[in-house]
Chain A
């Protein structure tokens, strides 16, 4: 099976759906002739033409607003927001329009838009190129929010998203575009070739939305996480010598509660990890849901490892980012509770 990094997997997903469905169109900043600043759409304009891979002005609100109108007129738009940090000018269009159109018109109108946006830190991007705003979108009824952690899932989930009639915010953790990251910035970069999920079929397949995945089985602790931190969590658990079950949430909303609670009921301990700031973060929702169904099996309070409640600081990236060190400290501390 071919090896792909996440960028190639995403490009392959776009290629496969564009080839199968002429209504799929891409629009975004630098996505056309140039192929995107992260190269996710490289070659697609040459293959599918300027009417289907559309270079857009620097106007995220316009990109999302126009995509909604295209979707109403029978297209299946896949706008790219160059960095998740740039999505806010289009926020009203997402929350008040895209998410609500089906509901407010009782299904008379809908717009099947999939918004792709690279997210997360670890690339020295400072506070406008490193954010993880998934909780903001998870809070909005009417959209689905996805974040894959590897090439195989990225392609399968992106195909599912584009083929879905629901609006979807598809976050791509850009730190792991080129290879998994164990949370130690001093170590040399690793390629996806070393990872089983770097094997990606060339053709069409889907990974269903709304299903978490147990990426590592264990008995002592459940680590619930997503995106880049899936890899950090695995490395940290192994380094800490703890037999941890690591769950990749994948679908922030709708959430696969059962996979999480089944695991925590088994292990009795739960640590939640995300890059985004802690206060009001998605971890709070996860903790609330898990404690409700697992309360009598919990041997320690559910803990959260997250970004500090500060903007993402450029020069202190590795003190901000919840990397391997902080994750190990968190694991040790939850395992010490008797």
Chain B
């Protein structure tokens, strides 16, 4: 031990120009981690928060007690949703680069999180997403054209031009409104889940934050409430290694995994391969069953990698190696599920190419349709007078008066 105290400044394992180094990641072999009964005591299953639950093996077979044995047809559907999310992102990214939307956030490399977890939940379960969960909205039936209109702030925009692109919402699909502030949705999910229990319903809530946002106070408020009242909620931490330019060590991930954050409160944590759709499905289902039967909250850390920039406003080549994703030991979630299906004889490269073409055409058709509702430069345009709507249940007099003044001075 040194004789003086010292300030530790976390440093990532590699910066631009360095060889990527993921030796800090504790990996388990596929199939190596036990699957305990859902009524296990937290203290008996602490290993789940430090080991890594994996099902898809390097030889592309499914292994071990967490294999959910999903029907191949359903897996093809899952692959379709993941690929749709990626194709959609790719198109929207290009559209932003062409200056036709102001901003975009892609989920590149993290598609299995939204799709795998949505599959394991029931439609009545409520999702409180972060801004990189577009797959949840898609899986739950929000139309691509509606999502595009939101990004365009056009006359079809579900947010009527009030929110940055990608801040979707859908009450009908039971996916909450994205705030733009980080981690604020976590306590909402816990409160929603508490209300579900108060009302005697068996719906559960699930929420998602990134590794970075676990440092927010709301995260700690939420997990405290979840533990105290044993709320039926799944608390997901998507550890994609990077919070803009700060690596996960800056959120405290250097010494203990994020999945262990709840252990001090008695919340079991599961660390899962976030690029392994089968493992994600299985762990989410485990947590959902536990919550539905009164077992309370479960924290799930999904270990993945942010394959792209944080957003269209970011340039990751300034702070991390360009080839870091290619070196990520858990690979690409779409490629891994594809190879699994091929290995099992339920898919082929040709089918995959066809699917990608089909989805590209679907996205293109949606984009054409979305533009009919207006673009940033061409009408129809939203009526600015609507900016005074929906602030309160009924618009008070001072806002009506400002609306009239706005129309008078700014024109409508």
Q: State the A residues within 8 Å of B (CB).
A: 25, 51-52, 54, 56-57, 59, 61-62, 64-75, 77, 89, 92-93, 96-97, 100-110, 141-142, 144, 164-166, 210, 254-255, 257
Q: Is the CB of A59 within 8 A of B199?
A: no
Query: Using Cβ atoms and an 8 Å threshold, which residues of chain A touch B302?
Result: none
C-beta contact mask, B157-176 vs A, less than 8 Å → 1, else 0?
Answer: 01110110001011100001
Closest partner residue, chain B, to A144 (CB atom): B392
What is the CB-to-nearest-CB distance from A254 to chain B, in angstroms, rounded to a whole number? 4
Query: With a CB–CB cut-off of 8 A, which chain B residues contact A104?
Result: 159, 162-163, 167, 169, 177, 179
Given A70-B194, A73-B126, CB of A142 within 8 Å of CB of B177? no
Q: Are the CB atoms of B176 and A109 closer together than 8 Å?
A: yes
The complex places the Cα of A191 from the Cα of B376 at a distance, in Å, of 63
Given pairs A68-B191, A96-B179, A108-B169, 18 additional interface contacts (CB within 8 A): A56-B225, A62-B187, A62-B224, A64-B187, A65-B218, A65-B221, A65-B225, A66-B187, A74-B195, A75-B199, A93-B184, A104-B169, A104-B179, A106-B158, A107-B390, A108-B177, A109-B176, A165-B393
CB-based A-B contact count at 8 angstroms: 144
**Which A residues lie within 8 Å of B205 (CB)?**
69
B409 within 8 A of A: no
Known: A93-B184, A97-B184, A104-B162. A70 touches B169 (CB 8 A): no
Are the CB atoms of B159 and A69 closer together than 8 Å?
no
Q: Answer yes or no: B198 CB below 8 A from chain A CBs.
A: yes
Q: Which residues of B contact A (CB under 8 A)?
A: 126, 128, 158-160, 162-163, 167, 169-171, 176-177, 179, 181, 184, 186-196, 198-199, 205, 217-218, 221-222, 224-225, 228-229, 389-393, 396-398
Q: Which residue of chain A has the shortest Cβ distance to B223 in the bound complex?
A: A62
For B163, what are the chain A residues with a Cβ–Cβ distance below 8 Å?
A: 104
Residues of B within 8 A of A57 (CB): 224-225, 228
With a 10 A CB-CB cut-off, give which of A52, A101, A104, A255 has the most chain B CB atoms: A104
Q: Can you list 11 A-B contacts (CB < 8 A)?
A: A52-B198, A62-B190, A65-B221, A69-B128, A69-B191, A70-B195, A72-B192, A75-B199, A105-B159, A144-B392, A254-B396
Q: How far is the CA of A263 from the CA of B187 in the complex (A)?
A: 46
CB pair B191 A166 closer than 8 Å: no
- Which among B188, B198, B389 is the interface contact of A72 at CB below 8 angstroms? B188
Question: Distance in Å from the Cβ of A229 to the closest Cβ of chain B?
Answer: 24
Using Cβ atoms and an 8 Å threshold, which residues of chain A touch B191? 65-73, 77
Instruction: Judge whether A66 and B225 touch: CB under 8 Å.
Output: yes
- Nearest-CB residue, chain A, relative to B216: A92
Complex Cα distance A62/B195, Å?
14
What's the minimum C-beta distance from B405 to chain A, rounded to whole angstroms? 13
- In the complex, what residues of A have CB within 8 A of residue B177's CB? 101, 104-105, 108-109
Task: Please tell me if the beta carbons of B179 and A69 are within 8 angstroms of each other in the complex.
Answer: no
User: Contacts of B217 on A, CB cut-off 8 Å?
Assistant: 61, 89
Residues of B within 8 A of A89 (CB): 217
With known contacts A65-B218, A69-B195, A73-B196, A109–B169 Cβ distance under 8 A: yes
The answer for the CA separation of A71 and B160 in the assembled complex, in Å, is 23
A106-B158, A108-B170 in contact; A92/B192 too (CB < 8 A)?
no
Residues from chain A with Cβ under 8 Å of B196 in the complex: 73
Q: Give every chain A residue within 8 A of B221 (Cβ-Cβ).
A: 59, 61-62, 65-66
Q: Which 10 A-B pairs have the closest CB atoms?
A: A69-B191, A65-B187, A62-B221, A66-B191, A73-B195, A69-B188, A69-B192, A105-B177, A254-B396, A165-B393
User: In the bound complex, how far is the Cα of B391 from the Cα of A100, in angstroms?
Assistant: 7
In the bound complex, what is the Cα–Cα distance between A160 and B126 (angstroms)?
A: 29
With A101-B177, A108-B169, A109-B176 known to touch, is A69 a contact of B190 (CB < 8 Å)? yes
Contact A108 B158, beta carbon cutoff 8 Å: yes
Closest to A72 in B: B192
Q: Bound state CA distance, A109 and B192, in angstroms?
A: 13
Given that A25-B198, A105-B159 are known contacts, is A69 also in contact with B193, CB under 8 Å in the complex? yes
B177 to chain A, nearest CB (A): 4
Given known A57-B225, A102-B391, A108-B171, contact A65–B188 (CB-CB < 8 A) = yes
CB of A103 within 8 A of CB of B162, answer yes
Q: Which residue of B lies closest to A64 (CB)?
A: B187
- In angstroms, Cα B191 to Cα A62, docked, is 9
CB contacts (< 8 Å) of B193 on chain A: these are 69
If A59-B224, A97-B184, A101-B177 touch, does A69 touch B392 (CB 8 Å cutoff)?
Answer: no
Q: Is the CB of B392 within 8 A of A142?
A: yes
Least CB separation from B196: chain A residue:
A73
Contacts of B391 in A (CB 8 A): 102-103, 141-142
The answer to whether A65 touches B169, judged by C-beta atoms less than 8 angstroms apart, is: no
* Cross-interface CB contact of B189 among A69, A105, A164, cutoff 8 Å: A69
Known pairs A57-B225, A109-B171; A102 contacts B192 (CB<8 A): no
Chain B residues, Cβ within 8 Å of A52:
198
Q: Establish whether residues B188 and A62, one from each chain, have CB atoms under 8 Å apart when the complex forms.
A: no
